[in-house]
Amino acid sequence: MKFNFSFSSGKNKKELALKQPPIKDTSEDSQVNKVMVDYFKTYQSLYRREIEDWTNARMARHAIANPTTLQLQQLYKDSLIDLFLKRQMANRILRISNRTIVLKDKSKKIDVDRSVPLQEKPIRTMIKRGMESKFFGYSMLFVQQWKPGKIIKLKEIPRENIIPELSLLLKNALDVNSGINFREYPDYFIFSSLGDDYYGELESIAPLTILKRHSWASWDEFEQIFGIPLRIAKTMIDTEKHRNDLEFWLQNMGSAAYGILPKTVDLEVVPSQQTDSFNVFNEKRKAVNEEIAIGLNGQTMTTLQGSSKSQAEVHGKTQDEITADDLQDVLDYLNGDVINILRNFGYDIPEGHYLDLMQRTNIPIEEKAKIDQILLQAGYRLDQEYIEETYNVVLDKETPVIIPGQSQQLSFFV
Q: What is the pLDDT of residues 316-366, one digit of tens each?
A: 678 889 999 999 999 999 999 999 999 999 999 999 999 999 987 666 777
Asked if the structure places residue 335 within a domain, the reply is: no
Q: Give me the pLDDT at residue 73, please.
A: 94
Q: Is the whole-model pTM more than 0.75?
A: no
Asked if the structure places residue 106 within a domain, the reply is: yes
Distance (Å, rounded) from C-alpha 51 to C-alpha 173? 23
128: left (phi over 0), alpha (psi -120 to 50) or beta: alpha
**Whether residue 195 sits in one domain with residue 217:** no
Asked if the structure places residue 320 within a domain, the reply is: no
Q: pLDDT band at 229, cuts 50/70/90?
A: low
**Whether residue 219 sits in one domain with residue 104:** no
| Spatial CA neighbour of 148 closest among 12, 331, 11, 8 | 12
Q: pLDDT band at 23, cuts 50/70/90?
A: low
**Whether residue 225 sits in one domain with residue 168:** no
Instruction: Return the H-helix or E-strand segment holding 233.
Output: strand 231-235
The residue among 206 and 265 whose pLDDT is bigger is 206
**Whether residue 149 sits in one domain with residue 37:** yes
Q: What is the DSSP string of 127-149?
A: HHHHHHHHHHS-EEEEEEEEETT
What are the C-alpha distances in Å from 189 to residues 101, 162, 291, 326, 383?
21, 11, 35, 22, 44
**Whether residue 237 sits in one domain with residue 191:** no
Q: pLDDT band at 40, cuts 50/70/90?
A: very low
**Whether residue 173 sits in one domain with residue 217:** no
* Res. 5: pLDDT tops 80: no
Find the domain containing 233 and state its range: 212-297
**Whether residue 171 sits in one domain with residue 47:** yes
For 296-307, the pLDDT digits (tens) are 888 776 666 555
For 382-392, the pLDDT digits (tens) are 777 777 777 77
